[in-house]
Amino acid sequence: MSYILPNLPYTYDEFEPYFDKKTMEIHYTKHHQTYINNINTAFKQLPEFASFNINTLVQQLHKIPADLHTFVRNNAGGHLNHNLFWKGLKKNTVLNGALKTAIEHNFSNFDTFKDLFEKAATTLFGSGWIWLVMKNVSTLSILSTKNQDNPMMGEIISGVSGYPIIGLDMWEHAYYLKYQNRRHDYIKAFWSVVNWDEAEKRFSVKKNNYFI
Ligand SMILES: [Fe+2]
């Protein structure tokens, strides 16, 4: 099996003026594609892993031989993270339902959640991601990962754990063309393009699975 770019249900200019067309195009066709190319190359040396879907692969990194471990970790993480990122974008959605209730339960109110998320993003040093994750059926947490790590890799590898609900790409390639050093403007723009429908779906499906 080879991984391929997911189809985008929108055009590159869909999220103007928040995320600009050129950045979206390069981000998707160059950066994400490179992670995919690299992991597909790694599969030639790891045929026993080539049938794994990307979620399974990042949870099996401890089985990857040492000489390929970092390469697979970075590129499998890059593929998964960007899959989540593209699906997590949509215009004009509204936080609602069980996820809204859970955010208000965990962070007092939505504005406090936003402040904490923005603070985590602003203070992240270097390249990485900011996540809202489910720790368990009733606990949400905001956390960060370095480079292309994902909380699904687990604490031993990524230093954190949880099931991602939303994720913000804090690599410069995600914002520098438009925002340069104005990182906080990029972070604030994210709130205008978060796909809360997808976030609510991820939250509810995972929540229901906890009861099985
Ligand atoms: Fe990215």
Separation CA 69–CA 85 (nearest Å): 23
- Report pLDDT for 208: 85
pLDDT at 212: 44
pLDDT over 80 at 211, yes or no: no
Give the Å distance between the CA of 128 and the centre of ligand 1. 9
Residue 100 is predicted with a pLDDT of 97
Q: What's the confidence (pLDDT) of residue 73? A: 98
Let me know: does 111 contact 118? Beta carbons within 8 Å. no
Whole-number pLDDT of residue 207: 86
Phi, psi of 48 (to 5 degrees): -70, -15
What is the average pLDDT score of the chain?
96
Q: Report CA(66)–ligand 1 centroid distance (Å).
A: 25
**Ligand 1 centre and the CA of 79: distance in Å?**
9
3-state secondary structure of 150: coil
Distance 173 CA to ligand 1 centre (A): 6
- State residue 191's pLDDT score: 98
CA of 45 to the centre of ligand 1 (A): 26
CATH 1.10.287.990 fits 21-87, yes or no: yes
- Distance (Å) from CA 174 to ligand 1 centroid: 5
Q: Using the mean position of ligand 1's atoms as its centre, give its distance from the Cα of residue 92 in Å.
A: 22
Q: Which CATH class is domain 97-207?
A: alpha beta
Q: Is the pLDDT of residue 144 over 90?
A: yes
Q: What is the pLDDT of residues 16-60, one digit of tens each?
A: 999 999 999 999 999 999 999 999 999 999 999 999 999 999 999
Question: What pLDDT score does 16 carry?
Answer: 98
Does position 209 have pLDDT exceeding 90, yes or no?
no
Q: How far is the centre of ligand 1, averaged over its atoms, from the C-alpha of 30 (Å)?
A: 10
pLDDT value of residue 129: 98
CA of 82 to the centre of ligand 1 (A): 6
Buried b (16+ CB within 10 A) or exposed e, 26-62: ebbeebbeebbebbbebbeebeebeebebeebbeebe
Could you give the C-alpha distances from 204 to 90, 99, 126, 148, 192, in angstroms and in order? 18, 7, 32, 25, 22
Give the distance (Å) from ligand 1 centre to CA of residue 175: 9
Domain-wise residue ranges, the chain: 21-87, 97-207
Q: Over the stretch 31-42, which tens digit does the pLDDT of each residue have?
A: 999 999 999 999
Whole-structure pTM value: 0.96
C-alpha 146 – ligand 1 centre gap (Å): 12
Residue 1: enclosing H or E segment and its boundaries?
Answer: none
